Structure 1
Amino acid sequence: MLRKARLIAPLVRTFLLGAATTARFWGPAVAVSTLAVSSTVLVGCEDENDPMTHVAKLKDPTQQRQAIKQLLQMYADAESKDKKSNDKPNVKAILDKIIQPLAETCLDDKVKDQDRSKLVKFMADTRDPRGEPCLKKTLDDYKPDTNEDDVNNVLIAIAAAKLTNLQPQVMKVFQTMEFSRPKAKPLGPNVIKALKVVGDKSQEETYIKMLEPAIDAEVGPASVNQGFWQQTSAYMLGHIKSEKAVKPLLKVLLTPSKAPLGSYALLSLVKIGKPAVAPSEALLKGEDAELLKFSEEEQLKVAEKDQNGKIPEAAQKAAKKAYLPIAAQVLGNFGNEESTQPLLSALEKAKEDPADRTIIALQLTQLPKSPATIEAYKKVYEDTKLDTEVPGVGPAKERLVVSASQFFDPSLTPWLVKTSADLKGENSEIDPVRGFAFVAAVRLMTVDQIADVTTLKDTKAVTEVQDEKGQAKKKDTTVGEAYKDQFEAAKKLLENCKAETKCYMTAATNADNQKKDNPFTALKAINMVAMLGTDAERDELVNIVKDIDNDEVRAATLVAIEKLTPKNGAAVADKLEGYFEKAEEAKDTEKMQKYNVFLQLAAKLRAR
């Protein structure tokens, strides 16, 4: 035993000495190689497939970037594995391990911008509440022309996940961004979506104050920025139904330099609904001294001066009553019975002003029809002279006669025919009015009125054509010559369907009738549904309107839905808004653009 032990000892020394000798022979290279092998063995003890291995490296600046890359790749791999799983077990498992460390890394000011952007996008895409601190910091750090891409990702996440906790940060971005800068423009739609999610009454004072600054008529960065801030503020005040905003929104409408914001202010007043009716009515009656003074001053600011630098007396008079048609437009857009009497009273008050009477009368077509509104409308038309022109409207007589069809009342058809026959004057004056009256009559006529409308169609008229030398010359024609195809299509439809609403619904929804080159049959059919239909037909129109591709037919369908919903429109509004929301969820921009008008109608229906 002792002998064997002695034999082993030299062998051990040989191995040890051999190693030492070899090391000395190869010098540093072998020493490095030996260390490298030793190091590899140590690292090999770590599990590269364990997320915690890379989490540990997040605090090491030299390894942080690679660690972030590895962790994000692991998450992507987990998503791939869970593609067919509703429970997402792999995603949940890794997210629980990495979300908190990555969120903390995002908050580290020393993290490189490129790496932080990856973290922000990850937090925004996962929409995990534990990542909110990272999203909050991104918005808090926003300055124009800095981290717009990161901010955009966060805004998208806020809108999608309804992260209401970030309300202050969203407001900060909205008030800081300058829409005139190219990098800020992509933020516009998404900041509005985020504002809608976080919006509530606590913000109304801020939005109201943002409506106050003047907007310079000259286009420049400052006016573009103010335009965006005020347009969005006007929209949001309607979204949160701010009763305090009624007068500020009316002031926007009364300010000529803010005309581009008018549609947003008007829609918001409609959304606010009943609380906006009384102030609008007081303005229409001339009872709100503050708004009357404001309106006059704003009008005089933009009035043209004469050669002596003074505002002409006519312009001063016009400034005093500029509020009247604006208040009428607001009440008309509410579209409810409560607006009827104020508008009828305003008509009486404006009896000496044909332009104001025209504008007020046109609003009557938006209200639930009644004998009083129809008779008042007819009187305004009959009293209007052939040469009356209204700014923003055009020839008053023509506009009034064609708009009569918006009452959707076939009893107006004989009146249209008679008043057209009674017109006196030169052909150049009366033929255009008769032409528009014929169009309105065709829209309204029923099967038993075809003969009357045929009489108007065949009424002699004069038109101008060019001869072979290009010179204008008069030519005899008839009132209905230019619209004969539409008349024949309407006549055929009426003779086929008579008074059967179901038949008209079939014609309205027929794909061939909705072709872009000739949709008149569908348009006439929808008009007949609006006149003959009930809630059942209205609901059917609501169900199909989203699938109508023809713009004219879709617009006519929305009008019919509105006319068939004089009261209690909340359920219809819910469905119309739902179409837009589904398109928004699917990120279908084409449908979102097509359905945007649904939101406007929904707002009107809710006000009823």
Structure 2
Amino acid sequence: MKIASGIVRFHVWQALLFGAPVVGPVVLAGTFGAALTACADENDPATWAKRLEDPAQRSTAAKRMAQFFQDSLTKNNNNREAPEVKKVLDAVVEPLTKVYVAGGLDEKTRKDLMKGLADMGDPRASAAFAKAFTDYEPGKNDEDVKFSAQAVQRMVSGKKTPDQTLVDALWTCFSKFQMSKAKSINLVTDLHDAILEVKSPSYGPKAVEKLAAPVQDSVDSQKDQIHFWQKISIRVIKELKFAPAAKPLVKVLLDPRKAELRGTVQAALMVMPKEAEDALLAALKGTDAELAKLTAEVPDKVGVAILADTLSWISRSAGKDALLAALDQADSDTNRVVIAQSLTRFPPDQRTKDALLKTYTKIPAGTRLKTPGDPLARPVLVQVAAAFYDPAMTEWALKEVAASKGDEGASMIAFGLEAAVKLMTKDQLTKVGEVVSKSWSAKEQEIYKAAATIVTACDKDAACYVKKLGEPIASGDGVGMWRAVKAARMAAMFGKDDTKQALLASVDKVKEAGARLAVVEAIDYLCPKGDAQAAAALDKIVAADVASGNKNLIAGDDAVVKVANRLRARAL
């Protein structure tokens, strides 16, 4: 600085003394600026922010600014709220955003810049993220969209609500995104997750609109409509509990071309039980002409069966009454069996038990259902009879096992004996054991022995059975799983309200999926009028499992979610 200043003064003095033009200072202005640049603080983000304005330095500057953020984050143990991290963000986010929004970047610089902004996940970069979504073209800015979707997720997880412009841009991108043309599964996943995490009320009507699109037979149409647009839209509706979607969801349920979506639709309908029940009953009873027509047009007349199955997952009294009435009018064996089977998901009473037994007598031996897998009808009915928790049905199950022949006999040995083992009490152990010893393999007989040991030890003591649920189950231990299943079922059979509370306390301790299913079904049985508090307790368990990241627990919690929704629905 002093040398440069001295040279300037020398040239000025020389010009004054000899009358020469004063050109020195003009030339040395550049030298002076260079000296300033050379003295700039390379560790100051603001220095690099200025260099973004120079196309020649832009790429390097963008990377360096992103590195400032990463370094500060590492230094502060990934605490994004640390003052040092915030100071860096204050210096780099807005300049980087301004450059991205202005456009005109080469591909590499654009991607690097967007990745840096996405890692920061700062709402002040929303304009850049929105531009990436709005400008989406397959194969051109896929990486930008992926990073922007990750940024949205990072914002939401950090309790920062994306502004409406960004929310709208995300949906715009989702609406024109075609899974069939995507080259990266990560891009599909990130876009899916971002849409669901935003939970914007503005998405409700838009999601319903997506459901109206027809599905063609082509592979691309299946990918785009079924596996992406419509499946995600249904999940959005579920997350929002968007009740106006009830009828559109039932229309999807009854569309044969959208059969793959039925499970997703049922899950969505369960979170809006009143509105869903109204729409389903309107379809079943024919009071809605459009839905009645769709029901009648389902191939093999299984429209009624689809409605019955869905109503049973909601499990409210109006649905039970409607299914009992529909059973008398059923015009096919498949509909009769599915309706009777569906009735076992409602709180049991004499009407539902009689309905199942009456249906069983109407079904000819060897009848197969027109449902996935073409199962034999009568073994299905014997198997689901275990849901009544009534030991009086044990001998009926044994009788049907003994009477069945051929393929049906083999199926009955598997499913009918399973029901008998679930239902048997201490005074029935010998009879069940005799049939098991003749019909099951040595390995299968270990299941019976485990169940019998539990029953012998606890008899009619519900608290004893609940205590048995605390026994560990090794991974892959089928016998241990069945021991827990039997304990849960017997606790319900002989339990009271305090048993329900004890079972609720045990759910989190029972990690094996089959055993946990039995525990929550036992809770469901003990809550015939529903229980919002019990539902909330189950919700907390599911939330904790999701937070843990344990994929096995998360996968096994589907039953927990369903039972929680049923308890809530019946409590309304």
Q: CA deviation at 1:275?
A: 1.0
Distance 2:530 2:452 in 1: 35
Match of 2:263 in 1: 263
**Equivalence for 2:516:** 554
- 1:245 is matched with which residue? 245
Instruction: List gaps (5 residues or longer) in structure 1.
Output: 1-15, 17-33, 300-317, 459-477
State how 1:583-594 maps to structure 2 within 5 Å: 584-585=546-547, 591-594=553-556
Give the equivalent residue in structure 2 for 1:309.
Answer: none
Matching of residues 509-520 of structure 1 within 5 Å:
509-512=470-473, 515-519=476-480, 520=482
* Correspondence 1:607 to 2:565: no
Q: Secondary structure at the match of 2:52?
A: coil
Q: Report the counterpart of residue 194 of structure 2 in structure 1.
A: 194
Aligned match for 1:529, one of 477, 482, 491 = 491
Contact conserved, 2:182 with 2:188, CA < 8 A, in 1? no
1:56 alignment partner, SS class? helix
Residue equivalent to 1:346: 326
- Greater percentage in helix: 2
Query: What whole-Å deviation, never above 9, does each CA across 1:107-126 have from its counterpart, x for those lacking one?
Result: 12123332332332333232
Letter in 2 for 1:222: S
Query: Residues 83-122 of structure 1 correspond to what in structure 2 (within 5 A)?
Result: 83=77, 88-122=82-116
Secondary structure of the equivalent of 1:281?
Answer: helix
Displacement of 1:205 = 3.3
2:356 to 363, 377, 385: 377
Residue 313 of structure 2 is matched in structure 1 by 333
Partner of 1:464: none
The 3 A distance-change label for structure 1 pair 523 and 155 is: same
- Give the conservation status (yes or no) of the 8 Å contact 2:80–2:86: no
**Mean CA deviation greater in 280-289 or 539-548:** 539-548
Match for 1:123 among 117, 131, 145?
117
Deviation at 1:417, TM superposition (A): 3.9
Alpha carbons 1:167, 1:199 under 8 Å: kept: no
Change (3 A) 1:512 1:140: closer
Matches within 5 A, 1:297-336: 297=297, 299=299, 318=300, 321-336=301-316
Aligned to 1:310: none
> Which residue is equivalent to 1:147?
141
Distance 1:101 1:436, change over 3 A: closer
Farther-moved stretch of structure 1 (143-152 vs 529-538): 529-538
* Helix, strand or coil at the partner of 1:518: helix
* 1:185/1:531 CA distance change after superposition, 3 Å: same
In structure 2, what residue type is equivalent to 1:559? E
Q: Please tell me whether the aligned partners of residues 446 and 479 of structure 2 are also in contact (alpha carbons under 8 angstroms).
A: no
SS in 2 for 1:183: coil
Residues 85/381 of structure 1: CA separation in 2 closer, same or farther (3 Å cut): closer
Residue 525 of structure 2 is aligned to residue 563 of structure 1: yes
Counterparts of 2:395 and 2:292, CA distance in 1: 42
Q: Which range moves more in the overlay, 332-341 or 583-592? A: 583-592
Cα contact 1:431–1:479 (8 A) shared by 2:
no
**Does the 8 Å contact 2:447/2:479 carry over to 1?**
no
Whether 2:485 is the aligned partner of 1:487: answer no
**Match in the other structure for 2:211:** 211
How far apart are the structure 2 equivalents of 1:160 and 1:533? 46
Pair 1:508–1:57, CA change in 2 (3 A)? same
1:228-275 deviation per Cα after TM superposition (whole angstroms, max 9, x unaligned): 212222232233233332222222222222111111122222222111
Query: What is the DSSP-based 3-state SS (H/G/I as helix, E as strand, rest coil) of the residue aligned with 1:607?
Result: helix
The SS at the match of 2:217 is coil
**Alignment match of 1:498 (pick from 434, 455, 459):** 459
| Candidates 334, 359, 364, aligned match of 1:355 | 334
* CA deviation vs aligned residue, 1:291-316 (integer Å, no higher than 9, x gap): 232344454xxxxxxxxxxxxxxxxx
Change (3 A) 1:142 1:578: farther
Q: Does 1:443 align with 2:399?
A: no
Name which one, 1 or 2, has greater alpha-carbon Rg. 1
Residues 457 and 84 (structure 1), Cα distance of their counterparts in 2 relative to 1, 3 Å cut: closer
Check the 8 A contact 1:156/1:194 in 2, yes or no: yes
| CA separation of 1:252 and 1:239: change in aligned 2, threshold 3 A | same
Number of positions where the alignment pairs a residue of Structure 1 with one of Structure 2: 534
Q: Is the 8 A contact 1:513 1:521 kept in 2?
A: no
Q: What is aligned with 1:272? A: 272
Contact preservation (8 Å) 2:383, 2:416 = yes
Q: TM-score, length-normalised on structure 2?
A: 0.83
The 5-angstrom pairing of residues 144-183 of structure 1 reads 144-162=138-156, 163-165=161-163, 166-183=166-183
Instruction: Deviation per CA, 1:193-242: give whole Å up to 9, x if none.
Output: 32233334533333223222322234x22331111212222232233233
Which residue is 1:73 aligned to?
A: 67
**Identity fraction in percent:** 29
User: Using a 3 Å threshold, how does the CA distance of structure 1 residues 420 and 79 change in structure 2: closer, same or farther?
Assistant: closer
Deviation, 1:277, is 1.0
Relative to 1, partners in 2 of residues 1:111 and 1:448: Cα closer, same or farther, differing over 3 Å? same
